[in-house]
Every structure is written in structure tokens, then in C-alpha cells.
Amino acid sequence: MRRFLALCCLLAIWCLPSGVFAADTRTITDMRNKEVTFAADPQKVATIDDGFVEGVMTHLGVIDKVKAIGSWSMKRDYNYDFETASGEKYSYRGWNTMKFLHPWLNDLPCFNSPEGDTLNFETLAKAEPDLVILRVGDCTVGEDDQQRIDRTIGTIEALGLPLAVIYAPGYFRKAELATIRDEMGVIGDIFAQREKALALADYLAGTEKLIRERTSGIPEAEKSTLLYVGLNPDLRNEGLVGGAFGVNTPESYIIENVAGARNAFRGDGYGVPLSAEQIYALDPEAIVLPTWNGYHPPRELYETAYFSNLTELKAIKNKRVYAMPWTPMNCARRVEYPIDMLIIAKAAYPDRFRDIKVHEFVLGFYEKVYGVDEATAKGLRTTQILDWMVEYDF
């Protein structure tokens, strides 16, 4: 028996990566409920997400350990040009918040195609990461194609790379965002900072609690109607206005279950095509414009020639159109999601949130979450194209 136990110990050590002994490793349980063993203090981390993991790592002070990325959203400059019906031209520029905070991410090897839909596993293997962190549900891998997800996981593990998997909320086919806390817990475990990671999750959830306290108990007949619609130019080229977000989406969960408003679009699905006639039939009190195949400011609805047929909409006549933060490749909520919630809530109920200046809130948020000074926080507000809130004292 003693010989058998000694042999097992030798085999366990022999199976670890070269130069790594059992005492130098850490084992955590990821969101697959699978144990993952890797170097106790990983110095080379590869991420497959669109900024969520990097955001949490920034808060934990370990962002410098990222050595390879799987998303071009942290490398690109995004520029959008518009022209009013009168011929005035204007433009917007935005970056991923992680690129703004950490420009060096742009210089890291990116093992994805510029289109963002093909992972290059050879490039990943050449980076020789101590650990790969994969967020299922971000644009890079998505959440709907289980075969693709399984193939991605299987290929990475076949390379012999330790892999920790976390699941964005949409993966569970549920609209609520509670599982973001579980994601942060796993990332905290990886870097032996679980308590700090969960404290961040609780801080983010605090904004949701504040909103709920102000919007709970509103009678159904008094609820504001809000349309969350992406002004996808591809749909516009087909004679449509944009794509609505249905009642089964996280966006609708925020509108109805957090902000206490009513989603004007009662169907299911993401980016459901709507014509001008269909939007007039809904005639919402407020309209919110997310990042959707580009950035879309309120001015686009108010002033462009191609949307001039919408000027009689209640929300447009009353100047109640609001832009969400610029979030490239925003297939799943990232660390900044409380800002999204507060914009939606104030868009639905300006009077109930009159005392909260969102343009000031975001500065304190950035400072708290990312540990930056006021000047950097203002830079983040600009890179998320939120300076319009200062102009309108929103």
C-alpha cells in the first residue's frame, strides 16, 4: 500500500506542467463546476471576452498579468460620422474602456480575427499562458451555439492549457444579472482575492438597489413606456428603423424589474426589426439608443434626414431620447452595467431621479471601480461618449 501511495504522489507531480510542483499551484472551481489547476500566481493570463474580465482584474490590481487577448474591441479606434438634414456634419469617437485605461493592451497578441468571429488557437498556444479565462456569452464566443462553445473549450483544453470558464447572464436564458456576482467570484478565486471581487459585485448591485427603492410600487397605469431600440444601419437600408429588445432580454429586465417602467415592445428577441409604422403604434414616452452596429446619439433621431418620418413620435417631440454608454461588442453586460441601469431609470422617470446627476455619478463610479483620479474618470466618461450628460445636466 505504501508503495502504491508513493507511486500516486510521483505520478501527480509528474503530470503537472514542467517546472511546476503541487505546492506552486492553485485549484479553483469554475462556473462549469469543474476544478481547474494552474500556477498559484499566474503571470501570463489569456482572456477571451470583451472587457469584463479585464475590468474586474483592473479593480483587483492584476491587469498587468494579461498577456494575450481574444477580442479586437480592445484594439480598435471607433469613429462615427453623422450629418443633419440641414447639412451639418459631426462625429463621435469611442474606445473600449479597457483600451483607454490600458493602451498597452493594443500591443498584445490578439488570437481572434479582426471580424471577431474566428479564434486562432495557434496564436493562443504561442502565447504560452499560465491560464485562459473564457467568458461564454461575450461576442467572441456567444451564448447560443453550444456546439461552438463546446468546441472552443475542447480545443483549448486539448492544447494542455488550464482553462477557467465563466458564464455571462444570458447563457442561462434568464434576463436577470445576478450571475455576474458568480463570475466575479471565480475571477477573485483565480487571484486569491475572492472577498474583494465579491465586494465589487455588491457595490455594483447597490445601484440596482437604489433604483428599485425609487421605482417600486408604481401602479401599472402610471408606468412610463420605454423603447430600447438599436438603430442598426443594416436594417435602415432595408427600409426599417431599427431592432427592438424584447421582454425576455436583460435589457428589458432592467427596464421592467429594476427601473419599474414598461417595455414598449412586448415581443421576444434581440434586435427585432421594426418599421416606422410599428414604432408609431408603440409611441413610447422615452426611447433609449444602445450601441448597435455603431454608436447612435439622440441627434440621429432628432435631426437626420433618414429619420425625418419619426418627428411626430411622443418621445422625439418631448426630447426624451437618450443614448446608452458607448460599449463596443456589448453582447453581455460588463462592469459598467450600473451606468446603463441609471440611464434607463432616469430616462423613464426624470422626476424621480432629478437629484441624481448621472454625469457626476459616473465619475465617482469610475474612481471607485477602477481606482483612477478625477481627470482619468472624465476621460472614461468621454470615451464612453457620455459627455452629452454634462451639456444637458442629466
Say if residues 325 and 95 touch (Cβ distance below 8 Å): no
Residue 13: the pLDDT is 38
Say if residues 166 and 183 touch (Cβ distance below 8 Å): yes
Q: Which CATH number fits domain 219-355: 3.40.50.1980, 3.90.950.20, 3.40.50.720, 3.40.630.10?
A: 3.40.50.1980
Distances 283 to 232, 264, 287 between C-alpha atoms, Å: 19, 8, 9
Query: Average per-residue pLDDT in the chain?
Result: 92
Q: What residue spans define the domains of the chain?
A: 21-192, 219-355, 357-394
Residue 289: the pLDDT is 97
Residue 22: the pLDDT is 52
Q: How far apart are CA 287 and CA 282, in angstroms?
A: 11
Given a cut of 90, whether residue 332 has pLDDT beyond it is no
Say if residues 368 and 57 touch (Cβ distance below 8 Å): no
Q: Does domain 21-192 have CATH number 3.10.580.10?
A: no
Q: How far apart are CA 319 and CA 392, in angstroms?
A: 11
- Segment 338-389, tens digit of pLDDT: 999 999 999 999 999 999 999 999 999 999 999 999 999 999 999 999 999 9
- Segment 50-94, tens digit of pLDDT: 999 999 999 999 999 999 999 998 888 899 999 999 999 999 999
Helix 358-370 vs helix 374-383: angle between axes, to the nearest 10 degrees? 110
Q: How far apart are CA 49 and CA 163, in angstroms?
A: 13
Given a cut of 70, whether residue 5 has pLDDT beyond it is no
- Segment 119-137, tens digit of pLDDT: 999 999 999 999 999 999 9
> pTM of this prediction?
0.91
Say if residues 133 and 190 touch (Cβ distance below 8 Å): yes
Per cent of the chain over pLDDT 70 is 94
Cell of 363: 465619475
Phi, psi of 86 (to 5 degrees): -85, 0
- Segment 147-174, tens digit of pLDDT: 999 999 999 999 999 999 999 988 877 7
* Three-class secondary structure of residue 138 per DSSP: strand
Residue 18: the pLDDT is 45
Given a cut of 50, whether residue 16 has pLDDT beyond it is no
Given a cut of 90, whether residue 307 has pLDDT beyond it is yes
- Segment 182-233, tens digit of pLDDT: 999 999 999 999 999 999 999 999 999 999 999 999 999 999 999 999 999 9
Residue 10: the pLDDT is 37
Pairing of strands 262-263, 78-83: unpaired
User: Of 25, 13, 14, nearest to 162 (Cα)?
Assistant: 25
Phi, psi of 46 (to 5 degrees): -110, 135
| Torsion angle, alpha carbons of 95, 50, 332, 143, to 10 | 150
Q: How far apart are CA 162 and CA 130, in angstroms?
A: 7
